[in-house]
Structure 1
C-alpha cells in the first residue's frame, strides 16, 4: 500500500500511524501467546481443517480417530523395519510419505468392518467342516433298529 507523501507533516503522520499499528499488532500477538492453551490453539490453527463430506469425519491430522493417529506412525515404522529393511534413504522416505497418506483410509470403522468379514469367513469355514464331519458320521452309522 503506497501512499504519496508530499511534505514533512504527512511523513510524521504516516510514521505515527505505523507506530500505532505496530502497537496494536504487538498486543494481539501477546494475547495470542499468553498461556499454554493459547499456544496450543495457535499451533492447531496451523493445520487446516478439511470440510466434512456427507457426515464423514474430517481428514485432518487431529480429526482422525485413535487408530488412524496410531497408524500414521506405526505403519511407516513397520514397513521400513520389515519389508524395506535394507533399502536406501530415498525409498524409506517415499514409503513413509505414501504410508502416511494411506493412513487416512485407516479408521476404527474400516478395521472393524474388515475384522467382521474375516471373522464371518472363518466361522463359515468351520461350520462347513463341522457339517461335513456330521454328514460323514451319519453315513457311517448303521441304524440300530431296522424295520423288516
Structure 2
C-alpha cells in the first residue's frame, strides 16, 4: 500500500475519488465471488482446502468431516458407558488424530481392504458358467 501525503483540499478530493473507485471495484469482485451457490461453495472450500497441515486450519474435506465424526462415533460406540472425563479425553485425542486423516489415507485403506478381500476370495465375481454343455453331434444320433 502506498502512503500519500495530503497537503491541501485538492489532494483530499483526489484521494477520496481514488478510494471510491477502489471500493466500487472491490464490490464488483465480491459480487462475482458470491453470485451463485457453486461460487459460494468454492469460496468456502478454498478457505479450508489445500494441503493438510496438522493442527492448522488448512485441511481437506475428509479431514474436516473426521474431526466431527471420529469423536462422535468413538463416544457412541466404544466409550458408550464412560464418564464425561473419559469422553472429553477421547474427544481431544481424536481431534488430534483427525489431523492425520485425509483423502490419501482413506484411499489407501480402501485399496488395502479391496486387495485383502480379493486375496481371500470375497468380492470376486464368479466366472460365467459355460452354457453350451450339449453332447457332441455324433453322440446325440444314437
Q: CA deviation at 1:3?
A: 1.0
Equivalent residues in 2 for 1:113-132, closer than 5 Å: 113=112, 116-117=115-116
User: So what's the TM-score if we normalise by structure 1?
Assistant: 0.57
Equivalent residue number for residue 36 of structure 1 = 37
Number of matched pairs: 111
Query: Per residue, is there more helix in 1 or in 2?
Result: 1
Q: CA deviation at 1:47?
A: 1.5
Query: Which structure has the higher relative contact order (CA within 8 Å, separation 6+)?
Result: 2
- For the aligned residues, what is the CA RMSD? 3.4
User: So what's the TM-score if we normalise by structure 2?
Assistant: 0.59
Q: For the pair shown, which has the larger CA radius of gyration, 1 or 2?
A: 1
Equivalent residue number for residue 75 of structure 1 = 70
Report if the CA contact (8 A) 1:80-1:92 is conserved.
Answer: yes
Distance 2:45 2:118 in 1: 39
Q: CA deviation at 1:99?
A: 3.4
Structure 2: gaps of 5 or more residues: 53-57, 122-142
The worse-fitting range, judged by mean Cα deviation, of 80-89 and 93-102 is 80-89
Distance 2:106 2:29 in 1: 39
